[in-house]
Amino acid sequence: MGFKDQLLKAGLVSKKQVRKVNQKSRKDRKAKQSTREAKGVVEARTKAERRAERKRLQAEKLAARRERDRVREAAEAKRRVDQILQSHRVRFRGGQQRFWHHAPDGRHVGRLDLPASLAFDLHCGRLAIAYRGPADAFEPDVLLIPSEVADRVEKLDPSRVLFRNPSRPKEPEEALWTIPT
């Protein structure tokens, strides 16, 4: 026995009122059924939503993988540059020729006291100045490298080469740098 039947039996509502309520509920139910979508349409929409979600997740995974690869390659290039610089550095002890260059931070000027022969090679473009380690360190490791090595370093990280003379000096100028024996 339903709630409507209990109200009718108790005399709280009339048969006419119960009939009106039943008709109204039937109308509402039919109106709701006429506006709902067919099962096929609903299933197609949910499939499309799932497909779009899968594609979005795949795109996110691909972007994350590319970012990881980019970070890994950057770290590998940094290690490779440091290794190249360490293995091809030109070792020297202090000298009388002062050679000024830009510091790695770009705001200061650095000074190298070089032997005359190395200063001449820097002037001629046979040597270049590069640095190892972080650019913002108090005193980064500034070193001399051959010009060919500077080419390789510039391909990997152009900011590591501080000074390089790409043009060859003219003959009369070289005579000024020669050391009489």
Tell me the domain boundaries of the chain.
3-35, 88-177
- Contact in structure between 86 and 73 (CB atoms under 8 Å): no
pLDDT tens track for 35-56: 677 788 888 999 999 999 999 9
* Phi and psi angles of residue 109, each rounded to the nearest 5 degrees, phi first: -120, 135
The mean pLDDT value of the chain amounts to 84
Q: Which residues have a Cβ under 8 Å from the Cβ of 77 and sit 6 or more positions away?
A: 156, 157
111, β-bridge pairs:
100
Tokens 């972080």 label which residue? 134
Using CA atoms of 122, 123, 124, 126 in order, give the dihedral in degrees to the nearest 10.
10
Quote the pTM value: 0.58
pLDDT tens track for 115-171: 988 888 888 888 999 998 776 667 778 899 999 999 999 999 888 998 888 776 655
Band of residue 16 on the pLDDT scale cut at 50, 70, 90 = confident
Whole-angstrom CA distances from 171 to 53, 107, 124 are: 70, 34, 11
pLDDT tens track for 61-89: 999 999 999 999 999 998 999 999 999 99
Whole-angstrom CA distances from 158 to 76, 149, 154, 162 are: 15, 12, 4, 9
